[in-house]
Amino acid sequence: MSPYLWLPTISIDSANTRSPGSAVDGDRVEIGPTSYLDALDLGLMLAGEMRNGEWVVTGDFIYLDFGIDDKDIDFLRPGVGPIAGRYGAELSGTVITLAAGKTFAQTESSLADALIGWRRFGMSLDISGDLQGGETVALDSDMDFNDVVVGINGRYRFGNEKRWSLRYYADIGAGESDLTWQAVAGLGYGLGWGELFVNYRYLDYDFGDVDTFGGLEATFSGPSIGAAFRF
């Protein structure tokens, strides 16, 4: 079991989203940890791995809940143009990845697993606000995407008593989203009870057209730290 903390920069690209003061078309909105941590109400991140000989099962679970009050909004309404105002929002999201597979390469210092699995991305968004010209806006949107993924997972141990390890994971898949893929690389240090690790993680989603969002894409990238406990 591995509790961890991941602080990604979130990038969102859509035909009808834009940053305040920027070009209307083709712009990418980026949100860093310093922008969203003060709005975080609850977060839980856990990963796990079970092995029996050459067979392996892995899992990863992320749940985040945000509350945003009285923030600027600036977006493009199709057929109307840019709209500005103030808004409040409630946002919760879940990303679950489960995979199983088999070790296809193993030495005294290294191993590599081939995996096949499933990833679910779920998000609930509730926005209400006041726009320029006295208009009010309300948006209640639920997104739920289930995708099949294939991937590789492994590590290479080195150093004194092979306490250090290079860790890597990558997968790619599709299904209800047009495409999803992620890559993780990091460094671990083994202790008697388990391992401490630091990773860099990149998760990308191409959702396609979703509700009022055209060509919606999102990426999550940044460092994570955690501890893996052995049982």
Q: Which residue has the higher pLDDT, 134 or 115?
A: 115
Indicate the pairing of strand 194-210 with strand 40-52.
unpaired
Helix, strand, or coil here: 107?
A: coil
| Phi and psi angles of residue 8, each rounded to the nearest 5 degrees, phi first | -85, 155
pLDDT tens by residue, 163-210: 999 999 999 999 999 999 999 999 999 998 999 999 999 999 998 876
Asked if residue 170 lies in contact with residue 186, where contact means CB atoms within 8 angstroms, the answer is: no
pTM of the model: 0.81
Cα–Cα distance list, 99 to 19, 199, 219, 227 (Å) = 37, 19, 21, 20
| Phi and psi angles of residue 33, each rounded to the nearest 5 degrees, phi first | -55, -35
Which of these, 214, 221, 210, lies nearest to 182 by C-alpha position?
221
Q: What is the pLDDT of residue 71?
A: 62
- For residue 5, is pLDDT > 60? yes
Q: Which fold has domain 2-229?
A: Lipocalin (2.40.128)
**CA 228 – CA 48 distance, rounded (Å):** 8
pLDDT tens by residue, 144-165: 999 999 999 999 999 888 999 9
